[in-house]
Protein backbone atom coordinates (compact mmCIF):
# COMPACT_ATOMS: atom_id res chain seq x y z
CA UNK A 1 0.00 0.00 0.00
CA UNK A 2 1.22 3.48 -0.82
CA UNK A 3 0.29 6.33 1.52
CA UNK A 4 0.81 9.89 0.42
CA UNK A 5 2.40 12.12 3.08
CA UNK A 6 2.67 15.89 2.79
CA UNK A 7 5.41 17.74 4.65
CA UNK A 8 3.80 20.88 6.07
CA UNK A 9 7.21 22.30 6.96
CA UNK A 10 10.67 21.90 5.47
CA UNK A 11 11.91 20.29 8.70
CA UNK A 12 9.25 17.57 9.00
CA UNK A 13 10.57 13.99 9.11
CA UNK A 14 8.85 11.34 7.03
CA UNK A 15 7.72 8.32 9.06
CA UNK A 16 9.96 5.25 9.14
CA UNK A 17 9.79 1.70 10.45
CA UNK A 18 12.61 1.17 12.98
CA UNK A 19 13.09 -2.49 12.02
CA UNK A 20 11.87 -4.79 9.23
CA UNK A 21 9.57 -6.56 11.72
CA UNK A 22 8.05 -3.42 13.26
CA UNK A 23 4.25 -3.27 13.19
CA UNK A 24 4.20 0.50 13.71
CA UNK A 25 6.12 3.32 12.07
CA UNK A 26 7.63 6.15 14.09
CA UNK A 27 6.31 9.70 14.11
CA UNK A 28 8.78 12.49 14.87
CA UNK A 29 8.49 15.90 16.51
CA UNK A 30 8.83 18.80 14.11
CA UNK A 31 9.79 21.47 16.64
CA UNK A 32 11.26 21.99 20.10
CA UNK A 33 8.77 21.52 22.93
CA UNK A 34 9.25 21.45 26.69
CA UNK A 35 6.63 19.43 28.54
CA UNK A 36 6.17 19.44 32.28
CA UNK A 37 7.86 20.97 35.22
CA UNK A 38 6.48 21.84 38.68
CA UNK A 39 3.03 20.31 38.14
CA UNK A 40 1.76 16.83 39.04
CA UNK A 41 0.67 16.17 35.45
CA UNK A 42 1.70 18.17 32.41
CA UNK A 43 0.55 17.97 28.78
CA UNK A 44 1.42 19.70 25.55
CA UNK A 45 0.73 19.17 21.85
CA UNK A 46 3.62 18.26 19.57
CA UNK A 47 3.27 18.66 15.82
CA UNK A 48 4.74 16.13 13.41
CA UNK A 49 4.57 18.65 10.57
CA UNK A 50 2.94 15.98 8.42
CA UNK A 51 -0.45 15.44 6.80
CA UNK A 52 -1.48 11.98 5.57
CA UNK A 53 -3.74 10.75 2.80
CA UNK A 54 -5.07 7.66 4.52
CA UNK A 55 -6.73 5.42 1.93
CA UNK A 56 -10.52 5.23 2.12
CA UNK A 57 -11.57 2.20 4.17
CA UNK A 58 -8.51 2.56 6.43
CA UNK A 59 -7.63 4.36 9.65
CA UNK A 60 -4.33 5.45 11.18
CA UNK A 61 -4.03 4.63 14.87
CA UNK A 62 -1.41 6.44 16.94
CA UNK A 63 0.06 4.94 20.11
CA UNK A 64 2.61 5.92 22.74
CA UNK A 65 6.11 4.60 22.31
CA UNK A 66 6.80 1.97 24.94
CA UNK A 67 10.27 3.37 25.64
CA UNK A 68 8.82 6.78 26.47
CA UNK A 69 6.49 5.25 29.02
CA UNK A 70 9.06 3.01 30.66
CA UNK A 71 12.01 5.40 30.60
CA UNK A 72 10.42 8.87 30.95
CA UNK A 73 6.82 8.40 32.18
CA UNK A 74 5.59 10.08 28.98
CA UNK A 75 2.53 8.88 27.05
CA UNK A 76 -0.20 10.13 24.75
CA UNK A 77 -2.83 12.09 26.65
CA UNK A 78 -5.70 10.42 24.79
CA UNK A 79 -4.02 6.98 24.92
CA UNK A 80 -4.82 6.20 21.25
CA UNK A 81 -5.14 8.72 18.44
CA UNK A 82 -7.50 8.05 15.55
CA UNK A 83 -6.80 9.65 12.17
CA UNK A 84 -9.73 9.14 9.79
CA UNK A 85 -9.29 8.70 6.05
CA UNK A 86 -10.95 12.04 5.32
CA UNK A 87 -8.65 14.14 7.57
CA UNK A 88 -5.90 16.03 5.74
CA UNK A 89 -4.52 18.33 8.45
CA UNK A 90 -1.41 18.36 10.63
CA UNK A 91 -1.00 15.19 12.65
CA UNK A 92 -0.06 16.20 16.17
CA UNK A 93 0.18 14.23 19.38
CA UNK A 94 -0.56 15.49 22.87
CA UNK A 95 2.10 14.15 25.21
CA UNK A 96 1.63 13.79 28.93
CA UNK A 97 4.39 13.71 31.53
CA UNK A 98 2.90 11.70 34.38
CA UNK A 99 5.63 12.44 36.90
CA UNK A 100 5.59 16.24 36.46
CA UNK A 101 9.26 16.34 35.49
CA UNK A 102 10.24 18.56 32.59
CA UNK A 103 10.72 16.64 29.35
CA UNK A 104 12.38 18.30 26.40
CA UNK A 105 11.28 17.15 22.96
CA UNK A 106 13.76 18.02 20.24
CA UNK A 107 12.98 18.32 16.52
CA UNK A 108 13.33 14.85 14.99
CA UNK A 109 12.68 13.00 18.28
CA UNK A 110 10.38 10.01 17.98
CA UNK A 111 7.20 10.99 19.84
CA UNK A 112 4.69 8.29 18.89
CA UNK A 113 4.16 5.22 16.77
CA UNK A 114 1.36 4.57 14.32
CA UNK A 115 -0.11 1.95 12.03
CA UNK A 116 -2.68 1.93 9.27
CA UNK A 117 -5.41 -0.70 9.35
CA UNK A 118 -8.45 -1.50 7.23
CA UNK A 119 -11.80 -0.65 8.81
CA UNK A 120 -15.31 -1.40 7.75
CA UNK A 121 -18.25 0.84 8.46
CA UNK A 122 -21.25 -1.13 9.65
CA UNK A 123 -25.00 -0.65 9.41
CA UNK A 124 -26.81 -0.47 12.74
CA UNK A 125 -30.11 -2.32 13.01
CA UNK A 126 -32.56 -1.30 15.74
CA UNK A 127 -33.57 -4.61 17.37
CA UNK A 128 -35.86 -5.67 20.20
CA UNK A 129 -33.97 -8.94 20.73
CA UNK A 130 -30.33 -10.05 20.57
CA UNK A 131 -29.08 -13.62 20.18
CA UNK A 132 -28.12 -15.53 23.34
CA UNK A 133 -24.53 -16.43 24.26
CA UNK A 134 -23.01 -18.36 27.14
CA UNK A 135 -21.84 -15.10 28.74
CA UNK A 136 -25.10 -13.26 28.11
CA UNK A 137 -25.17 -9.88 29.83
CA UNK A 138 -22.41 -10.77 32.32
CA UNK A 139 -20.48 -7.64 33.24
CA UNK A 140 -16.78 -6.86 33.59
CA UNK A 141 -14.85 -9.76 35.03
CA UNK A 142 -17.69 -12.20 34.49
CA UNK A 143 -15.56 -14.54 32.36
CA UNK A 144 -12.77 -14.83 34.95
CA UNK A 145 -12.53 -17.55 37.57
Question: Using one digit for the tens of pLDDT, what is the confidence trace for 18-38?
Answer: 999 999 999 999 986 666 554
Contact predicate 40/78, CB 8 Å: no
Distances from the Cα of 133 to the Cα of 1, 24, 130, angstroms: 38, 35, 9
3-state secondary structure of 39: coil
Higher pLDDT, 68 or 95: 95
Q: How far apart are CA 101 and CA 52, in angstroms?
A: 32
Q: Is 80 exceeded by the pLDDT of residue 115?
A: yes
pLDDT of residue 77: 83
Q: How far apart are CA 128 and CA 38, in angstroms?
A: 54
What mean pLDDT, rounded, does the chain reach?
Answer: 87
Region 107-135: mean pLDDT is 94
pLDDT of residue 37: 52
**Which domains are assigned to the chain?**
4-118 (2.70.40.10)
Amino acid sequence: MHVRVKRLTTTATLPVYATPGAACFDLHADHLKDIGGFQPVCTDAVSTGLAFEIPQGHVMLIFSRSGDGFKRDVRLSNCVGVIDSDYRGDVAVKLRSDNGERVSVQPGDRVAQALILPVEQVNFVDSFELSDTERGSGSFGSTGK
